[in-house]
């Protein structure tokens, strides 16, 4: 008995299109204009995707779709899949239906028809081959991937201080691919710094810390642009320095700077990741305006100077700023990527002698002069504020 002839590809595709749902470019545009809860999945190859995509589309090459779709979309989400002309997307939709995705459709005519209709497209940020190799361990994490790495490369983080806290934070943020690092520090590298400030070297003694920091960061990762601010942060320059940055890491070592940075971040609506160390103890928390307390909620008034000596006066275990600075860097990466649970409303403390962490809950002060609803923030003379209040 002769074997039945296998269907041609054209017949197979026609059968698939009878089983799935297709949507037109006009329907998809209406969904986007109405800000409907729909996720666009681009299943083209990387070189096609680099040429342009539909606004906000998620890129999963067809060959990886079944492997990666669960990381990027839920089975109950509304999905529109597209390729160049509508063939690969139709086959992809059939496969997704078999995986249990019920609200999924293929874009008829694909990207080509969308582009021919002169509808909006985006130029995606595409990693180079060298960047893909450098950040390979990030790219295999579903929580990061190429889109997350692109966020890191486009992000701008300001570090207050290139000292004990700023050194490890700067190195690891640079290694992670944070694209722009601003560094504020008016000091120069001293021999006594090298016990804990790992950005600097013996050969760079006497150099401004921002110059030494830039040399270390650029040697580590040429993707990173360093913006040095060799100046002391004051009420007169803080808003200019903060301009254009996405978030701030506070590695300052004095109370006037901490209060100044807090108030300016509240004014600008910038997240402020605070860290501090004293002898064998450190602490870290994250302040996000409108989402939790600020530094003044935690410390309404500074302590008297005799109760809060500096590291130069009281000493500090060299490894401790490294631990706290890395926790600050970790907070920054989570905020940029939009992943995990931040330390907003939580103060994490660390005792190096007992190797114990403790967590304290922080509450927003309803009477806070800076972050309470309706409060009017004014930048003041913080040296006088700290001395007279204490």
**How far is CA 80 from each of CA 29, 86, 88, 90, 93, rounded to the nearest angstrom?**
11, 11, 13, 10, 9
Answer yes or no: are the C-beta atoms of 274 and 343 closer than 8 Å: no
Q: Could you give the CA distance from residue 126 to residue 84 in angstroms, rounded to a whole number? A: 18
Active-site residue (options: 311, 368, 371, 386): 311
- Residue 278 pairs in a beta bridge with 281
Answer yes or no: are the C-beta atoms of 272 and 295 closer than 8 Å: yes
Answer yes or no: are the C-beta atoms of 316 and 275 closer than 8 Å: no
Q: Could you give the CA distance from residue 54 to residue 111 in angstroms, rounded to a whole number? A: 8
Q: Could you give the CA distance from residue 266 to residue 260 in angstroms, rounded to a whole number? A: 10
For the chain, how long is the longest CA-to-CA vector? 102
- Residue 107 pairs in a beta bridge with 23
- Residue 282 pairs in a beta bridge with 277, 350
Answer yes or no: are the C-beta atoms of 136 and 44 closer than 8 Å: no
What's the token pair of residue 116?
């021919």
371 as an active site residue: the answer is: no
The arrangement of strands across the sheet holding 38-42 comes to 22-23, 104-107, 78-82, 38-42, 58-59
SS3 386: helix
Nearest Cα to Cα of residue 225 among 332, 146, 152: 152
**How far is CA 140 from each of CA 56, 148, 179, 297, 356, rounded to the nearest angstrom?**
21, 11, 20, 40, 32
What's the token pair of residue 252?
């300052």
Residues designated as active site: 311
């Amino acid at each position: 008995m002769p074997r039945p002839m296998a269907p041609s590809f054209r017949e197979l595709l026609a059968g698939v299109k009878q089983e799935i749902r297709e949507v037109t470019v006009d329907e998809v545009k209406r969904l986007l204009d109405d800000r409907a809860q729909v996720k666009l999945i681009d299943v083209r190859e990387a070189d096609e995707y680099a040429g342009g995509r539909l606004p906000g589309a998620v890129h999963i090459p067809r060959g990886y779709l079944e492997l990666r779709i669960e990381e990027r979309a839920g089975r109950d989400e509304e999905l529109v899949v597209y390729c160049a002309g509508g063939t690969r997307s139709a086959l992809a939709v059939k496969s997704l239906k078999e995986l249990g995705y019920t609200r999924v459709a293929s874009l008829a005519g694909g990207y080509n028809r969308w582009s021919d209709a002169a509808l909006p497209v985006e130029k995606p940020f595409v990693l180079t081959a060298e960047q893909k190799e450098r950040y390979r361990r990030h790219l295999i994490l579903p929580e990061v991937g190429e889109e997350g790495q692109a966020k890191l490369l486009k992000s701008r983080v300001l570090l207050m201080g290139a000292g004990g806290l700023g050194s490890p934070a700067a190195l690891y943020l640079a290694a992670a691919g944070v694209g722009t690092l601003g560094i504020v520090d008016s000091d120069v590298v001293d021999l006594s710094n090298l016990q804990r400030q790992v950005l600097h070297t013996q050969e760079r003694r006497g150099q401004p810390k921002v110059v030494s920091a830039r040399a270390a960061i650029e040697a580590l990762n040429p993707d990173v642009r360093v913006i040095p601010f060799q100046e002391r942060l004051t009420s007169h320059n803080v808003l200019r320095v903060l301009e254009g940055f996405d978030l701030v890491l506070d590695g300052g070592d004095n109370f006037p700077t901490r209060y100044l940075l807090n108030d300016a971040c509240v004014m600008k609506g910038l997240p402020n990741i605070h860290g501090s160390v004293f002898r064998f103890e450190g602490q870290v928390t994250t302040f996000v305006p409108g989402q939790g307390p600020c530094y003044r909620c935690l410390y309404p008034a500074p302590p008297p100077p005799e109760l809060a000596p500096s590291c130069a006066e009281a000493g500090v275990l060299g490894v401790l700023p490294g631990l706290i600075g890395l926790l600050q860097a970790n907070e920054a990466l989570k905020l940029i990527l939009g992943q995990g649970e931040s330390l907003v409303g939580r103060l994490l403390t660390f005792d190096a002698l007992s190797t114990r962490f403790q967590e304290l809950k922080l509450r927003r002060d309803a009477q806070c002069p800076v972050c309470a609803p309706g409060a009017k923030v004014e930048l003041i003379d913080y040296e006088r504020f700290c001395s007279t209040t204490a």
